Structure 1
Amino acid sequence: MTANRPGGRTARVRAAVLRAAGDVLAEQGFGHLDLADVARRAVVGKTTVYRRWGTVAGLVADLLAEMAEESLPRTETGSLLGDLTANARLVRDTLADPRQGALFKAVIAAATGDEHTARALHRFYEVRVAEWAPCVRQAIERGEVPAGTDPHEVVRAVSAPLYYRLLTTAGPLDEAAADRAARAAVAAAVAGAYVGWEP
Protein backbone atom coordinates (compact mmCIF):
# COMPACT_ATOMS: atom_id res chain seq x y z
CA MET A 1 0.00 0.00 0.00
CA THR A 2 2.71 2.43 0.97
CA ALA A 3 4.51 2.04 -2.36
CA ASN A 4 1.49 3.38 -4.25
CA ARG A 5 1.29 6.60 -2.26
CA PRO A 6 1.89 9.81 -4.11
CA GLY A 7 5.07 11.68 -3.28
CA GLY A 8 6.17 15.30 -3.26
CA ARG A 9 3.68 18.03 -2.50
CA THR A 10 0.68 15.68 -2.49
CA ALA A 11 2.29 13.55 0.23
CA ARG A 12 3.20 16.65 2.26
CA VAL A 13 -0.35 17.99 2.02
CA ARG A 14 -1.81 14.64 3.10
CA ALA A 15 0.60 14.39 6.03
CA ALA A 16 -0.17 17.93 7.19
CA VAL A 17 -3.94 17.45 6.93
CA LEU A 18 -3.92 14.10 8.71
CA ARG A 19 -1.72 15.51 11.48
CA ALA A 20 -4.09 18.45 11.92
CA ALA A 21 -7.12 16.14 11.95
CA GLY A 22 -5.47 13.98 14.59
CA ASP A 23 -4.71 17.04 16.69
CA VAL A 24 -8.35 18.20 16.60
CA LEU A 25 -9.61 14.73 17.49
CA ALA A 26 -7.19 14.45 20.41
CA GLU A 27 -7.86 17.97 21.69
CA GLN A 28 -11.59 18.40 21.09
CA GLY A 29 -13.16 15.15 19.90
CA PHE A 30 -15.00 14.10 16.76
CA GLY A 31 -17.83 16.60 17.21
CA HIS A 32 -15.43 19.52 16.67
CA LEU A 33 -13.72 18.10 13.59
CA ASP A 34 -14.38 20.52 10.76
CA LEU A 35 -12.75 20.34 7.32
CA ALA A 36 -12.29 24.11 7.08
CA ASP A 37 -10.62 24.23 10.51
CA VAL A 38 -8.37 21.29 9.58
CA ALA A 39 -7.37 23.08 6.38
CA ARG A 40 -6.50 26.21 8.35
CA ARG A 41 -4.44 24.28 10.88
CA ALA A 42 -2.63 22.39 8.12
CA VAL A 43 -2.05 25.63 6.16
CA VAL A 44 -3.74 24.05 3.14
CA GLY A 45 -6.46 25.42 0.91
CA LYS A 46 -10.02 24.50 1.92
CA THR A 47 -10.76 23.46 -1.65
CA THR A 48 -7.95 20.91 -1.55
CA VAL A 49 -9.29 19.35 1.64
CA TYR A 50 -12.91 19.24 0.46
CA ARG A 51 -11.92 17.85 -2.94
CA ARG A 52 -9.67 15.11 -1.55
CA TRP A 53 -11.61 13.98 1.54
CA GLY A 54 -15.12 15.31 0.97
CA THR A 55 -16.46 14.64 4.46
CA VAL A 56 -15.25 14.45 8.03
CA ALA A 57 -15.90 10.68 7.98
CA GLY A 58 -13.76 10.34 4.85
CA LEU A 59 -10.95 12.24 6.55
CA VAL A 60 -11.14 10.05 9.66
CA ALA A 61 -11.11 6.92 7.49
CA ASP A 62 -7.91 8.10 5.81
CA LEU A 63 -6.37 8.99 9.17
CA LEU A 64 -7.07 5.47 10.45
CA ALA A 65 -5.66 3.94 7.27
CA GLU A 66 -2.50 5.99 7.76
CA MET A 67 -2.25 4.94 11.41
CA ALA A 68 -2.59 1.27 10.47
CA GLU A 69 0.15 1.57 7.86
CA GLU A 70 2.48 3.46 10.18
CA SER A 71 2.06 1.11 13.15
CA LEU A 72 5.16 -0.83 14.10
CA PRO A 73 5.50 -4.36 12.67
CA ARG A 74 5.13 -7.39 14.89
CA THR A 75 7.94 -8.63 17.09
CA GLU A 76 9.07 -12.26 16.89
CA THR A 77 10.74 -13.48 20.09
CA GLY A 78 10.46 -17.23 19.60
CA SER A 79 7.71 -17.73 22.19
CA LEU A 80 4.03 -16.86 22.21
CA LEU A 81 4.31 -15.13 25.58
CA GLY A 82 7.23 -13.01 24.35
CA ASP A 83 5.44 -12.08 21.14
CA LEU A 84 2.14 -11.21 22.81
CA THR A 85 3.89 -9.27 25.56
CA ALA A 86 5.53 -7.18 22.85
CA ASN A 87 2.11 -6.68 21.26
CA ALA A 88 0.50 -5.72 24.57
CA ARG A 89 3.26 -3.23 25.37
CA LEU A 90 2.92 -1.65 21.93
CA VAL A 91 -0.84 -1.26 22.43
CA ARG A 92 -0.25 0.07 25.93
CA ASP A 93 2.33 2.61 24.75
CA THR A 94 -0.09 3.85 22.11
CA LEU A 95 -3.08 4.16 24.42
CA ALA A 96 -1.07 5.67 27.28
CA ASP A 97 0.30 8.39 25.01
CA PRO A 98 -1.70 11.56 25.79
CA ARG A 99 -2.33 12.42 22.13
CA GLN A 100 -2.86 8.90 20.80
CA GLY A 101 -5.01 7.80 23.71
CA ALA A 102 -7.29 10.82 23.34
CA LEU A 103 -7.44 10.30 19.59
CA PHE A 104 -8.53 6.67 19.96
CA LYS A 105 -11.17 7.62 22.54
CA ALA A 106 -12.57 10.20 20.12
CA VAL A 107 -12.64 7.81 17.16
CA ILE A 108 -14.21 4.99 19.19
CA ALA A 109 -16.88 7.39 20.45
CA ALA A 110 -17.54 8.61 16.91
CA ALA A 111 -17.76 5.04 15.60
CA THR A 112 -20.71 4.32 17.89
CA GLY A 113 -22.84 6.80 15.95
CA ASP A 114 -21.28 7.05 12.50
CA GLU A 115 -21.30 4.00 10.22
CA HIS A 116 -18.51 5.26 7.95
CA THR A 117 -16.22 5.87 10.92
CA ALA A 118 -17.15 2.46 12.37
CA ARG A 119 -16.17 0.74 9.10
CA ALA A 120 -12.87 2.62 9.04
CA LEU A 121 -12.16 1.65 12.64
CA HIS A 122 -12.97 -2.00 11.89
CA ARG A 123 -10.53 -1.93 8.94
CA PHE A 124 -7.86 -0.41 11.18
CA TYR A 125 -8.16 -3.27 13.66
CA GLU A 126 -8.35 -5.89 10.90
CA VAL A 127 -4.99 -4.68 9.61
CA ARG A 128 -3.37 -4.64 13.05
CA VAL A 129 -4.75 -8.04 14.11
CA ALA A 130 -3.67 -9.59 10.79
CA GLU A 131 -0.17 -8.19 11.34
CA TRP A 132 0.19 -10.09 14.64
CA ALA A 133 -1.78 -13.27 13.85
CA PRO A 134 1.30 -15.09 12.44
CA CYS A 135 2.78 -15.10 15.97
CA VAL A 136 -0.04 -17.38 17.06
CA ARG A 137 0.25 -19.56 13.95
CA GLN A 138 3.93 -20.02 14.74
CA ALA A 139 3.02 -20.97 18.31
CA ILE A 140 0.64 -23.61 16.95
CA GLU A 141 3.45 -25.00 14.80
CA ARG A 142 5.76 -25.09 17.85
CA GLY A 143 3.11 -26.93 19.85
CA GLU A 144 2.66 -24.14 22.41
CA VAL A 145 -1.09 -23.95 21.84
CA PRO A 146 -3.58 -26.48 20.45
CA ALA A 147 -4.18 -26.97 16.75
CA GLY A 148 -7.30 -25.12 15.63
CA THR A 149 -6.59 -22.10 17.82
CA ASP A 150 -7.92 -18.95 16.14
CA PRO A 151 -4.95 -16.55 15.87
CA HIS A 152 -7.15 -13.49 15.41
CA GLU A 153 -9.12 -14.14 18.59
CA VAL A 154 -5.93 -14.60 20.60
CA VAL A 155 -4.52 -11.27 19.38
CA ARG A 156 -7.82 -9.51 20.12
CA ALA A 157 -7.80 -11.01 23.62
CA VAL A 158 -4.48 -9.30 24.32
CA SER A 159 -5.60 -5.77 23.56
CA ALA A 160 -9.21 -6.00 24.77
CA PRO A 161 -8.43 -5.50 28.50
CA LEU A 162 -6.19 -2.54 27.68
CA TYR A 163 -8.93 -0.78 25.72
CA TYR A 164 -11.39 -1.60 28.49
CA ARG A 165 -9.13 0.06 31.06
CA LEU A 166 -8.63 3.07 28.78
CA LEU A 167 -12.38 3.60 28.38
CA THR A 168 -13.66 2.68 31.83
CA THR A 169 -11.07 3.80 34.40
CA ALA A 170 -9.17 6.94 35.25
CA GLY A 171 -6.18 4.96 36.47
CA PRO A 172 -2.86 4.74 34.66
CA LEU A 173 -2.44 2.23 31.87
CA ASP A 174 0.89 0.81 32.95
CA GLU A 175 3.25 -1.86 31.67
CA ALA A 176 2.07 -4.27 34.36
CA ALA A 177 -1.42 -4.15 32.85
CA ALA A 178 0.04 -4.93 29.42
CA ASP A 179 2.05 -7.87 30.74
CA ARG A 180 -0.97 -9.21 32.62
CA ALA A 181 -3.11 -9.02 29.47
CA ALA A 182 -0.51 -10.99 27.52
CA ARG A 183 -0.20 -13.66 30.21
CA ALA A 184 -3.97 -14.05 30.43
CA ALA A 185 -4.33 -14.41 26.65
CA VAL A 186 -1.57 -17.03 26.53
CA ALA A 187 -3.05 -18.98 29.46
CA ALA A 188 -6.47 -19.01 27.78
CA ALA A 189 -4.96 -20.05 24.45
CA VAL A 190 -2.94 -22.86 26.04
CA ALA A 191 -6.12 -24.08 27.78
CA GLY A 192 -7.87 -24.29 24.39
CA ALA A 193 -10.25 -21.37 24.90
CA TYR A 194 -9.82 -20.21 21.30
CA VAL A 195 -9.95 -23.59 19.55
CA GLY A 196 -12.62 -23.91 16.89
CA TRP A 197 -13.20 -20.20 16.30
CA GLU A 198 -11.41 -19.91 13.00
CA PRO A 199 -13.48 -20.99 9.99
Structure 2
Amino acid sequence: MNQATGAPGTARPGGRTARVREAVLRAAGDALADKGIGGIDLAEVARRADVGKTTVYRRWGTVHGLVADMLAEMAESSQPRADTGTLDGDLAALADLILDTLTDARQGPLFKALIAAAASDPEAAAALHRFYRVRIDEWSPCVTTAAARGDVPAATDPAEVIRALSAPLYYRFLVSGDPLDPDTAKRAAAATAAAARSGAYVV
Protein backbone atom coordinates (compact mmCIF):
# COMPACT_ATOMS: atom_id res chain seq x y z
CA MET A 1 0.00 0.00 0.00
CA ASN A 2 1.22 3.52 -0.80
CA GLN A 3 -0.44 5.26 2.12
CA ALA A 4 0.41 4.51 5.71
CA THR A 5 -1.90 5.13 8.59
CA GLY A 6 -0.21 7.22 11.29
CA ALA A 7 -1.10 8.62 14.65
CA PRO A 8 -3.77 11.32 14.75
CA GLY A 9 -2.44 14.61 13.49
CA THR A 10 0.46 13.14 11.53
CA ALA A 11 0.83 13.64 7.81
CA ARG A 12 0.32 10.95 5.25
CA PRO A 13 2.72 10.93 2.33
CA GLY A 14 1.17 13.13 -0.34
CA GLY A 15 -1.40 14.56 2.09
CA ARG A 16 -2.23 18.21 2.72
CA THR A 17 0.53 18.65 5.30
CA ALA A 18 3.10 17.37 2.84
CA ARG A 19 1.77 19.71 0.15
CA VAL A 20 1.92 22.68 2.52
CA ARG A 21 5.50 21.81 3.46
CA GLU A 22 6.50 21.52 -0.18
CA ALA A 23 4.90 24.88 -1.06
CA VAL A 24 6.44 26.67 1.92
CA LEU A 25 9.92 25.26 1.38
CA ARG A 26 9.79 26.16 -2.31
CA ALA A 27 8.65 29.68 -1.45
CA ALA A 28 11.34 30.01 1.20
CA GLY A 29 13.99 28.88 -1.26
CA ASP A 30 12.81 31.41 -3.83
CA ALA A 31 12.81 34.20 -1.25
CA LEU A 32 16.27 33.29 0.02
CA ALA A 33 17.66 33.16 -3.51
CA ASP A 34 16.10 36.56 -4.27
CA LYS A 35 16.90 38.45 -1.06
CA GLY A 36 19.29 36.45 1.11
CA ILE A 37 18.76 35.47 4.72
CA GLY A 38 18.44 39.06 5.95
CA GLY A 39 15.76 40.02 3.46
CA ILE A 40 12.86 37.72 4.29
CA ASP A 41 10.49 36.88 7.11
CA LEU A 42 7.89 34.19 7.68
CA ALA A 43 5.02 36.43 6.62
CA GLU A 44 6.56 36.92 3.19
CA VAL A 45 7.19 33.19 2.84
CA ALA A 46 3.55 32.50 3.73
CA ARG A 47 2.42 35.02 1.12
CA ARG A 48 4.61 33.51 -1.58
CA ALA A 49 3.39 30.01 -0.71
CA ASP A 50 -0.27 31.12 -0.50
CA VAL A 51 -0.44 29.59 2.98
CA GLY A 52 -1.84 31.12 6.15
CA LYS A 53 0.71 32.96 8.29
CA THR A 54 -0.40 31.11 11.41
CA THR A 55 0.39 27.78 9.76
CA VAL A 56 3.93 28.90 8.95
CA TYR A 57 4.58 30.47 12.36
CA ARG A 58 3.15 27.46 14.19
CA ARG A 59 5.13 24.86 12.26
CA TRP A 60 8.49 26.58 11.73
CA GLY A 61 8.58 29.40 14.30
CA THR A 62 11.52 31.32 12.82
CA VAL A 63 13.26 31.82 9.50
CA HIS A 64 16.18 29.79 10.82
CA GLY A 65 13.83 26.97 11.75
CA LEU A 66 12.54 27.08 8.19
CA VAL A 67 16.12 27.00 6.87
CA ALA A 68 16.82 23.92 8.99
CA ASP A 69 13.79 22.12 7.55
CA MET A 70 14.74 23.16 4.03
CA LEU A 71 18.18 21.62 4.47
CA ALA A 72 16.59 18.46 5.85
CA GLU A 73 14.36 18.24 2.78
CA MET A 74 17.31 18.81 0.47
CA ALA A 75 19.19 15.97 2.15
CA GLU A 76 16.14 13.70 1.81
CA SER A 77 15.80 14.42 -1.91
CA SER A 78 19.46 14.63 -2.90
CA GLN A 79 20.52 12.92 -6.10
CA PRO A 80 22.11 9.47 -5.81
CA ARG A 81 25.82 9.20 -6.45
CA ALA A 82 27.24 8.26 -9.81
CA ASP A 83 28.68 4.80 -10.42
CA THR A 84 30.87 5.07 -13.52
CA GLY A 85 33.12 2.13 -12.69
CA THR A 86 36.23 4.25 -12.09
CA LEU A 87 37.32 6.60 -9.33
CA ASP A 88 38.22 9.28 -11.86
CA GLY A 89 34.80 9.04 -13.46
CA ASP A 90 32.94 9.10 -10.14
CA LEU A 91 34.88 12.11 -8.85
CA ALA A 92 34.40 13.92 -12.16
CA ALA A 93 30.64 13.31 -11.87
CA LEU A 94 30.61 14.70 -8.33
CA ALA A 95 32.63 17.75 -9.38
CA ASP A 96 30.16 18.37 -12.22
CA LEU A 97 27.23 18.05 -9.81
CA ILE A 98 28.76 20.56 -7.40
CA LEU A 99 29.57 22.91 -10.29
CA ASP A 100 26.03 22.70 -11.67
CA THR A 101 24.58 23.42 -8.23
CA LEU A 102 26.80 26.36 -7.36
CA THR A 103 26.50 28.04 -10.76
CA ASP A 104 22.74 27.54 -11.10
CA ALA A 105 20.83 30.82 -11.20
CA ARG A 106 18.62 29.76 -8.29
CA GLN A 107 20.67 27.18 -6.41
CA GLY A 108 23.83 29.28 -6.21
CA PRO A 109 22.28 32.26 -4.38
CA LEU A 110 20.22 29.84 -2.29
CA PHE A 111 23.30 28.02 -1.04
CA LYS A 112 24.99 31.31 -0.20
CA ALA A 113 21.93 32.29 1.84
CA LEU A 114 21.82 28.92 3.60
CA ILE A 115 25.51 29.13 4.49
CA ALA A 116 25.01 32.69 5.75
CA ALA A 117 22.13 31.48 7.91
CA ALA A 118 24.31 28.71 9.33
CA ALA A 119 26.97 31.26 10.25
CA SER A 120 24.54 33.11 12.51
CA ASP A 121 22.30 30.41 13.98
CA PRO A 122 23.19 27.12 15.72
CA GLU A 123 20.05 25.32 14.50
CA ALA A 124 20.76 26.25 10.90
CA ALA A 125 24.43 25.33 11.34
CA ALA A 126 23.53 21.89 12.69
CA ALA A 127 21.16 21.34 9.76
CA LEU A 128 23.82 22.40 7.26
CA HIS A 129 26.33 20.03 8.84
CA ARG A 130 23.79 17.19 8.65
CA PHE A 131 23.12 17.99 4.99
CA TYR A 132 26.79 17.72 4.09
CA ARG A 133 27.24 14.57 6.16
CA VAL A 134 24.47 13.00 4.10
CA ARG A 135 26.17 14.07 0.87
CA ILE A 136 29.56 12.78 2.01
CA ASP A 137 28.03 9.49 3.10
CA GLU A 138 26.25 9.23 -0.25
CA TRP A 139 29.45 9.65 -2.26
CA SER A 140 31.98 7.92 0.02
CA PRO A 141 31.25 4.45 -1.47
CA CYS A 142 32.94 5.49 -4.72
CA VAL A 143 36.19 5.64 -2.75
CA THR A 144 35.46 2.45 -0.81
CA THR A 145 34.82 0.66 -4.10
CA ALA A 146 38.02 2.08 -5.58
CA ALA A 147 39.96 0.76 -2.59
CA ALA A 148 38.40 -2.67 -3.06
CA ARG A 149 39.57 -2.62 -6.70
CA GLY A 150 43.06 -1.65 -5.59
CA ASP A 151 42.88 1.77 -7.25
CA VAL A 152 43.71 3.58 -4.00
CA PRO A 153 45.34 2.39 -0.76
CA ALA A 154 43.05 0.29 1.42
CA ALA A 155 43.26 2.72 4.36
CA THR A 156 42.11 5.72 2.32
CA ASP A 157 39.56 7.83 4.21
CA PRO A 158 36.58 8.15 1.84
CA ALA A 159 35.15 11.23 3.55
CA GLU A 160 38.46 13.07 3.26
CA VAL A 161 38.56 12.40 -0.47
CA ILE A 162 35.07 13.85 -0.94
CA ARG A 163 35.93 16.89 1.19
CA ALA A 164 39.15 17.44 -0.75
CA LEU A 165 37.28 17.46 -4.04
CA SER A 166 34.61 19.86 -2.79
CA ALA A 167 36.90 22.34 -1.04
CA PRO A 168 38.44 24.19 -4.02
CA LEU A 169 35.05 24.59 -5.69
CA TYR A 170 33.44 26.02 -2.57
CA TYR A 171 36.49 28.24 -2.00
CA ARG A 172 35.98 29.87 -5.39
CA PHE A 173 32.24 30.08 -4.78
CA LEU A 174 32.38 31.67 -1.33
CA VAL A 175 35.79 33.30 -0.88
CA SER A 176 37.96 34.12 -3.87
CA GLY A 177 35.37 34.84 -6.54
CA ASP A 178 37.56 33.11 -9.13
CA PRO A 179 35.71 31.56 -12.07
CA LEU A 180 33.80 28.33 -11.56
CA ASP A 181 33.69 26.48 -14.87
CA PRO A 182 33.96 22.93 -16.25
CA ASP A 183 37.75 23.12 -16.47
CA THR A 184 37.92 24.02 -12.78
CA ALA A 185 35.72 21.06 -11.88
CA LYS A 186 37.79 18.74 -14.10
CA ARG A 187 41.05 19.85 -12.45
CA ALA A 188 39.62 19.42 -8.95
CA ALA A 189 38.48 15.88 -9.74
CA ALA A 190 41.75 14.89 -11.41
CA ALA A 191 43.89 16.35 -8.62
CA THR A 192 41.84 14.63 -5.93
CA ALA A 193 41.99 11.27 -7.71
CA ALA A 194 45.77 11.58 -8.14
CA ALA A 195 46.24 12.53 -4.49
CA ALA A 196 44.08 9.61 -3.38
CA ARG A 197 46.12 7.17 -5.46
CA SER A 198 49.33 8.57 -3.96
CA GLY A 199 48.10 7.82 -0.42
CA ALA A 200 47.46 11.45 0.58
CA TYR A 201 44.20 10.52 2.38
CA VAL A 202 45.36 7.39 4.17
CA VAL A 203 44.46 7.43 7.85
Q: Give the TM-score normalised by structure 1.
A: 0.93
When structure 1 is superposed on structure 2, of 61-70 and 168-177 the one drifting more is 168-177
Return the offset for 1:172.
3.6
Structure 1 vs Structure 2: percent identity of aligned residues? 69
Q: Which is greater in Rg? A: 2
Alignment-derived partner of residue 166 in structure 2? 159
Is structure 2 residue 149 aligned with structure 1 residue 128?
no
Runs of 4+ in 1 over 6 A off after TM superposition: none
Aligned counterpart for 1:18 among listed residues 25, 32, 50: 25
**Length-normalised TM-score, structure 2:** 0.91
Letter in 2 for 1:7: G
Taking the aligned partners of 1:105 and 1:131, their CA distance within structure 2 comes to 22
Q: Secondary structure at the match of 1:157?
A: helix
The offset of 1:92, in angstroms, is 0.5
Structure 1 residue runs of 5 or longer lacking an equivalent are none
Distance in 2, Cα, partners of 1:162 & 1:170: 10
**Aligned-partner residue type, residue 80 of structure 2:** P
Report Cα offsets for 1:95-125 as digits up to 9, x if no partner: 0101100011111122122111111100000
Quick check: 1:35 aligned with 2:35? no
Match of 1:174 in 2: 181
Measure how far apart 1:191 and its partner are: 1.1
2:78 is matched with which residue: 71, 79, 88? 71
2:65 corresponds to which residue? 58
Aligned length: 194
Q: Hey, what's the Cα distance between the residues in 2 that align with 1:113 and 1:159?
A: 23
Change (3 A) 1:5 1:169: farther
Output the aligned Cα RMSD: 1.5
Distance 1:186 1:5, change over 3 A: farther
Structure 2 residues not aligned, in runs of 5+: 5-10
The match for 1:102 among 91, 109, 126 is 109
* 1:91 correspondence with 2:98: yes
3-state DSSP class of the match of 2:152? Answer: coil
Matched with 1:143 is: 150
Q: CA deviation at 1:34?
A: 0.7
**Separation of aligned partners in 2, 1:169 and 1:72:** 28
